[in-house]
Each structure stands twice: as C-alpha cells, then as structure tokens.
Structure 1
Amino acid sequence: MANSELTKSSVTTQNIVQKLWNLCHVLRDDGVSYQEYVTELTFLLFLKMMEETGREDRILDGYRWSDIAGREGVDQLDHYKRALLDLGKAADPVVQSIFTDAQTKLRKPANLKTLTTAIDSLDWFSAREEGLGELYEGLLEKNAAEKKSGAGQYFTPRPLIDCIVRLMKPQAGEVIEDPAAGTAGFLVAADRYIKDHTDDLYNLTPAEAFFQRNNAFVGIELVPDTHRLALMNLMLHGIEGPITLGDSLSPDGEALGKADLILTNPPFGTKKGGGRPSRADFSVTAETSNKQLAFVEHIVRALKPGGRAAVVLPDNVLFEDNTGKRLRQWAMELADLHTILRLPTGIFYAQGVKTNVLFLTRGKADRANTKGVWVYDLRANMPAFGKTRPLRADDFAAFEAAYGDDPDGGAARADEGPEGRFRYFSRADITARNDNLDIAWLRDNSDAAEDDLSDPEDIAAAILGHLRAALAEVEAVDAELAGEEAVLAEVEA
C-alpha cells in the first residue's frame, strides 16, 4: 500500500474512532462510567459489525442489528435488554462468551436511539475496506489513552507490542499464548505479523489455515468485561482461538498446555486477600501472593523445550529477595534469560511503576541454560512519555538493531561499555551480585522528567502511579507478614 493510501486509511480509522468515542458523552449522561463505556459500546458494535460482515447467521433471529436499531422508545430499550439476556445463551460459543451476564447501563430510551442512529451513520464502507479489527483496536487504544478510563492497565502500548513481536518472529504453525490476555493486543499483533510474512495465510494448506484461525492463539483473561473485549478484538481480526475466562495461577493455567511462544504483560501486585496460586505444578512460587513472580513460573513451565517468551515485568521481579531470588535462580537454570530491556517510565497507565521486558528461551535440558544476560537501558535519560510525548516505534529502533535477528538472542552483539546502553553480564557477574538482575550503570539525568510533564492528565496519572506503586509495595509486605504469622500460628499450635 502506498504511503498516501496508508495515511488516508489511518485518518479514516481515526475519524471513525473519534466519532465512536464522542458517543461516551451520551453514555455518561445515562450514568455509564468510562470503565464501562467500551463494554457497553461493544454489545452494539458487535451486532452492527455482524451485519456489515455478512455473518448475522451467528445471531439469534429477532436480535440482529436491524431488529434493534429499527425500534423506538421504551420498546427499543426493552427489546435490547432481552437481546443481551438471550444472546448470553446462544449456541455460538463466541457470541455466548461475549454476551454472558451482559447488562446494559442505559436507562433512557432516547440515549439508546442516539447510539444506534449514530452507529448506523458511520462510514462503514471505509471501515470495511480498512478492516473492522483495526477500527475496534483503535477504539480500545483510545480508551486506554484516556487517563480517566483507567483502562491502560489492560492495554500494552502498541509500539512496544509491535517491537516485541518483531523480535520474537512468530511463525505459522506455532502455538502462541498470552496467559494474561487483556484485550488480546499481543495475539492480534502476532497474527498480523504471521499474515504479513505468509502471504496473508494464502500459501498455507487448508489444515494449516484452520489451525491458524482456531488453534494457534490461546490465552486466559481474568476480568469478565476485558474478556469480552478480547474476544471481540480477536474475532474481528479473523481469530477464533480458545481465549478463556479464568485465572492462569489456578488449574486453568495448567490446562493451557505447552506453547512455542509466550507474549504477555501480566498484572502487577498481589492476589486479593493475600491468596496463593492454586497450581499443583507450582513449587517455587506456591507460597507467594506476588502475582508477577507466579506468572514467571507459569511462563517457564508452559514453554516447550526451545520455546521462547517475552514478558513485561516490574523491577521488583529483578531484585526481590527470598522467593524472588529463588525464582530467578530456578528460571536461569531451566531457561536462557538472555536479554532484559529496561523500559522508560510513564509508558503505562501507572507512571510510577518501573518495568522491563524479559526475553528468554526454554532450554532443551534443565540445567545451566543462562550463560549470561544482555541488558539494554532504555530508561536512563529518556523523555517524559505521556499524552504530549507518546511512545513511538522509532523509540525502539536502536534496541532492535542491538538485539539482532535471532529471536533467541543468539545474533552477534556488541557490548557498548559503561557509556553505552547495551551491556553484557556473565552468569558469574550475576552470581557476584547475589543474583540481583536490577542492573543499571548509566547516570540518569532525567530524575526530574516528571516535572517536564505539561498535560494535566499526565501529571495526575504520574501522581496516581506513584500512589499505586506505593500501595502495591505495602500490600506485598502485608501479605508476606500475614503468611509468616500464619506459619507461626501453626508452629505454636
């Protein structure tokens, strides 16, 4: 596609997304919060997009788009409520999953009519030409960028996702997993990469093409409303893989099976109530309520021998003692933890949370797989990212060049020395650091970067991020203390 066509196409999607987002004012007038907005809109968009794509045979008779949009007043609102209830019992498993326990927050019939009329008036011809999946993903991205929505915790920035996918090079025929699927951004990006590199699947056999559509992408999402968004996003991109509603730190995660590639940004913090993973196959993190540590154990165990993973994790996974240290030692035995990317602050919804991407490959044997770790510091002396300075693809260009073409980190690399961003640390170096992988060497002159934030929403998000980070640390300490008290109580008993 020519650049001018690409620009025109992108502008078309942006315009439609903005019109959809403007409908949030109608929903807010009816008491619908930002957190509920996209879920509410998803129900209506699903029905409309089934009409636009000629797949209304998946929808129960009487509840298709025209059956709802053509009604007026209280009759329309009542019929829409019945539709949500009955579609949650549909025979089609995807339709059923999207509408299970669905409820509308709309109370005023006039507002529903405004929504259906506005949706009908959109430029659906252009949307179909560009791809309805791109349109819906744009809406999810818009919601995540809206600080007041709080949705950023489920949406990894697209430039970061695309960078990771380019480095991991997903292949047709591989099982690709996200155990914390969110809105399925990683899986959609992996599918896009595979299609771009396999002539959009046309050069696959019918059996191989069926596998790509139905079995190549697997995952779990814990939050019901986010699970709906993930299913909708995947379906509009031609993916109908088994993305289930559940908890990867329970037997649900064990049932996922083995994967060739894992791409994920798991939730940070502790399990509610200080609960521990309920996995029979867990040993290292069986007694911790720290979710990110437990997800690391899941990832290492879920990879096939030779399988690879890229996972976004907070700093504490790199330096935490006790369970954290045992986990790092265990993971470096079973897998080659070959690269760590220290991410800039401010690229997620919680600006106070410092994060990294860990790249690893599961060994063919279970001993001494990590010979050394390459660390790329993209955090020191970086801009203050936010609404006024969003993250861009070219922010990762130097890292991608340094990483090389081998997904397993085996390409020729150059240590840039103490003044550079990319350095190598042998396993002996790491042992000398008490297996602490929180390695920084550059003098960071951007400590005051948040003072440079100019957008009030960015400033508020930064403050909120620091508060959330502090609260997460308090919760972790409290959970560990509660665990120690329980053990003491058992001993005394």
Structure 2
Amino acid sequence: MDITNKLWNFCHILRHDGMDYADYVEQLTYLLFLKMADEGSIEVPADCHWRDMLTLSGKALTDYYDTALNILRGEPGILGQIFQEPISKIKNAASLKKIVEGIEEIGWTKLGKDVQGEAFEGLLERTANEGKKGAGQFFTPRPLIQAIVNVMQPNPLEGRRSKIADVACGTAGFLTVAAEWSRLHSGAVKQADKDYIRRSAYYGQELVVRPFRLGLMSMFLHDIEANISLKDSIYDGDLLGEEYDCILTNPPFGSRGSIGIPKLRNFPVETSNIQINFIQHIYEVLSEHGRAAIVLPDSALTDAKAREVWQILITENLCRVHTILKLPRGTFTPYANGVRACVVFLQKGSGTKSLWVYDSRSNVPGITKKSRPLDYGQHFAAFVEAYGSDPNGKGKRTQSERFRKFTLADIAANNYSLDFSWIEDNSLINDGELQKPITYIEDTLSELDSLNSIIASIKDLLEGN
C-alpha cells in the first residue's frame, strides 16, 4: 500500500472546504499526531482522545475536534509545540469523519517509524511541488539535501557528542536526512548515546509557525524529539546556549523576513540583506572548528556587502571557505523560478588557503517540474565524488573541467567576490535552436533578483549615512 498516495488522496475530500494543499497537510498533522499521542506514550488530556473521535459524527465531531485543538495548544512539551496556534479549517463534519476513518483504516500507528517518516516527507514534497501556494518556500529539494548531507557527514557522535542544526529549518528536511545518514553510518550505538541522539543532538529555528509544526512532526516520525524553536534567527538578540558543530541550512531567498538592519546583533557588516546576515549569524553560532553548508543565491557571493563579509572571514583567518557548488538553473523550480543559487561550504577557526568551485550549472539543461526534474545521480553524484571523503574538504582533490581551484590571490583579485566562471556556457541555446520562452523569463527574473540585491546594497549605504 502506498501510504503517501493514500494520505494525499484525502486532500480531495477537503477541497470543498476551501483548503489548499498546505492547509490540508497541516490539518492532517493535527489528526495524525492526535492518534499517535493517544495510542502512544504521550499523555493526552481528557476530551482530546482519538478513540472518542471515532465514535462521534456530525456537529458533535467537529465540536470535539475544535475543543481538542484549543486544549492541546496549552499543553507542555511537544504536544503544545505541535498544536501551537492551531486553527481548525475542517468545518464539514462529513469530511472530517471520512479522514478520521481513513487514517484508522491505514493503521498508522502500526506502521514502522521509517514508513511513517517516508510517507510524511512524501506529503511535504508534494505540497512543495504545488507551486507558490504550497510549502515550497520552506522546502529544499531532497536530491540537493542528500548531496549536502553526504559530503558533510553530520555525525552526532563524532569525536565528542556533537550538535547538528539548521538555523532556518523550514519543514526540517536537512535535519531528517541528517538523522537518516547518522543511523546508516553509526553502527552499534550505546543506549546513552541513543538517548542523546533522540533528544539532544538536533536543533533548528524557524520563523513561521506552520513549517515549525511540520518540521517537529517530521522529526518525531523519525523518532527524534528535535529542539526546534519558533524564533527569528537574525533579529532575536538572545543567543544563549546556541553553539553548533555542524550547520546545514537554506535561508530564505529574497527579502522575506527582513525588517532592516538587526540592531540587537553586533555583526561586523551592517546590512538589511537577510542572506548576508545569515552568513554572519552562522559564523557566530558555529563551534570552534565547526562546519557549515549554506544554500545561497549567487548574489550572496557578489554583492558589495557580501564581499565585505567574505573579505573579513577570509583575511582575518576566521573561516576556511573551501568549496562552492554552483547549482543547476531551476533547482528551486517552481517556487523560486529564475534564482541562480549555490552552496557554500566552510569551517570556522582556520584560515582559507584556497577555494574549490564545482560548476554543476554551465551547459546543464535547466531543471523543470516535470520533464527535467532534479536528480541526485544526474546532477550531484559527480560533485559528491569530487568533494572527497573529508567533510571539511581537506581530502585529496583533482581539478577537472567542472572542478577548479582558486588561490587567495585569485580571490583578492576578484575583489573578494566568490563568483568564478571558466566554462563557456552554451546552455541557453540547444543545438542551434531557441529555448522555450520560459527559459528567458526565468533568466530575466534572475537578473531582476540581482538588481534587487544591488538596490538593497545602495539602500544600506544610504541608511549608513
């Protein structure tokens, strides 16, 4: 039985209630967690029992559901987190009854944690692929996450006990894949270490309550009680206790979340640019010799304020900025069309000796939603092999057509812009024929994104004066 398809088909029941896909997955999260909590080890208050809902119908069922959500929002621990600011959007009693009975028919709590986790991740991915009305802005494509996790090797038992974090975690895609990687590569684990991994190894911050809730649920289904906080990573000045050994993150693109220069932070470069501030934030919360992989728009390599940050990190020997992966065009289709993006890999506490850049974009057909989807084997496997076995990028590397090494002198000559190109890119023309109009539209949007970044830099300069 395909559990993801079974759950996804329930959403058609709710269309008459005026819900979009993201609303549906959120309501399903409430119901699935209610069932798991009631039948598991979590103590549930009176009037919040799944078994009671099975016996009800009509207005009595919708009233019971509404009451349960209001009670659970005030509970401590993960119950209160999952049901934080809940809104019941299922107003049709017959629809609610069908979904409750459908979940019961699946036998959700009898499924293994791996099946539950995979099914829920499938729902999140489908929701993301529904375009800008879906959860795409909070979702990083799984093939990209897998490639980053494979090279970063986020082991919570590495050396001493380590902390793995995503400072803009969305629906916790990086954290769930990191947990999966750890299980596959940890071998035999002592009970004390199992307890640490389950409750103390994984951390996240998210600004928006819906992805915060979905991320907690996704980690719970992977048998991890993640320490995810509903907070603003950039504008919250309280960093007490925040120090992580491995950060894997995809901060929001564009200006979403920016409310000006963060006055409560003592960043060396003042800017309202959210991506540049995330770079500075990540440096601050990394442990000494901790490592990070940051998904960024290309503008975060080239803008004036970005170059200031990179110059400080590199020339003052604060970070080893050692690798950049240039992502294929359309990697974030359909929810960030036209944005050229990359991944920056760095390690805190040692100087930059050289920068390796892997070009997975030039002369690679752009990613589309259906005909040319992002694929691990096609788009990232060669990079993972070229990166080497050392998660900090210190392993043996060989230059190739797509993988080049640049010296400190090269970086300085480039005015500390980390954008390097050496391949003649003919991907805009295919066998002498013009590409589809959408290709040119996406490129235009990318140029507009760059212009917006330049305008934001000018705004910063004016505010500084």
The answer, yes or no, to whether TM exceeds 0.5 is yes
1:43 aligns with 2:30: yes
Partner SS for 2:35: helix
1:170 aligns with 2:154: yes
Give the letter for the 1:350 counterpart: A
Measure the CA separation in 2 of the matches of 1:383 and 1:476.
26
Aligned to 2:79: 95
Unaligned runs of 5+ in 1: 1-11, 489-493
Alignment equivalent of 2:137, drawn from 153, 165, 172:
153
Give the count of matched residue pairs: 453
Computed over aligned residues only, the root mean square deviation of the Cα atoms, in angstroms, reads 2.5
Q: Which moved more, 1:404-413 or 1:61-70?
A: 61-70
Measure the CA separation in 1 of the matches of 2:10 and 2:298.
38
Alignment equivalent of 2:422, drawn from 441, 453, 456:
441
Measure the CA separation in 2 of the matches of 1:344 and 1:253.
37
Q: Which moved more, 1:72-81 or 1:462-471?
A: 462-471
Aligned to 2:310: 328
Q: CA deviation at 1:463?
A: 8.5
Partner SS for 1:225: helix
Measure the CA separation in 1 of the matches of 2:238 and 2:150.
26
Aligned to 1:305: 288
> Is this contact kept in 2: 1:259–1:303, CA < 8 A?
yes
Q: CA deviation at 1:329?
A: 0.7
Aligned to 2:231: 246
Measure the CA separation in 2 of the matches of 1:451 and 1:49.
54
Q: CA deviation at 1:485?
A: 4.8
Measure the CA separation in 2 of the matches of 1:425 and 1:65.
60
> Is this contact kept in 1: 2:324–2:356, CA < 8 A?
yes
Aligned to 1:112: 96
C-alpha distance after superposition, 1:14-36 (max 9, x if no partner): x2212211222222210112332
Residues 467 and 102 (structure 1), Cα distance of their counterparts in 2 relative to 1, 3 Å cut? farther
Structure 1 segment 28-427 matched on structure 2, within 5 A: 28-51=15-38, 54-55=39-40, 57-91=42-76, 93-122=77-106, 124=108, 127-128=111-112, 130-147=114-131, 149-171=133-155, 172=157, 173-199=161-187, 202-204=188-190, 206-251=191-236, 254-270=239-255, 274-284=259-269, 287-321=270-304, 323-332=305-314, 333-348=317-332, 349-364=335-350, 369-386=351-368, 387-395=370-378, 396-416=380-400, 420-427=401-408
Residues 467 and 115 (structure 1), Cα distance of their counterparts in 2 relative to 1, 3 Å cut? farther
Measure the CA separation in 1 of the matches of 2:262 and 2:381.
38
Q: Which moved more, 1:386-395 or 1:369-378?
A: 386-395
Partner SS for 1:188: helix
Q: Which moved more, 1:340-349 or 1:124-133?
A: 124-133
Give the letter for the 1:377 counterpart: D
Residues 57 and 169 (structure 1), Cα distance of their counterparts in 2 relative to 1, 3 Å cut? closer
> Is this contact kept in 1: 2:149–2:178, CA < 8 A?
yes
> Is this contact kept in 2: 1:175–1:261, CA < 8 A?
yes
Q: Report % sequence identity.
A: 41
Q: CA deviation at 1:213?
A: 1.1
Q: CA deviation at 1:127?
A: 3.6
Q: CA deviation at 1:162?
A: 1.1
> Is this contact kept in 1: 2:47–2:64, CA < 8 A?
no
Give the letter for the 1:440 counterpart: S
Aligned to 1:5: none
Give the letter for the 1:372 counterpart: S
* Structure with greater helix percent: 1
Q: CA deviation at 1:258?
A: 1.3
Measure the CA separation in 2 of the matches of 1:231 and 1:408.
29
Aligned to 1:6: none
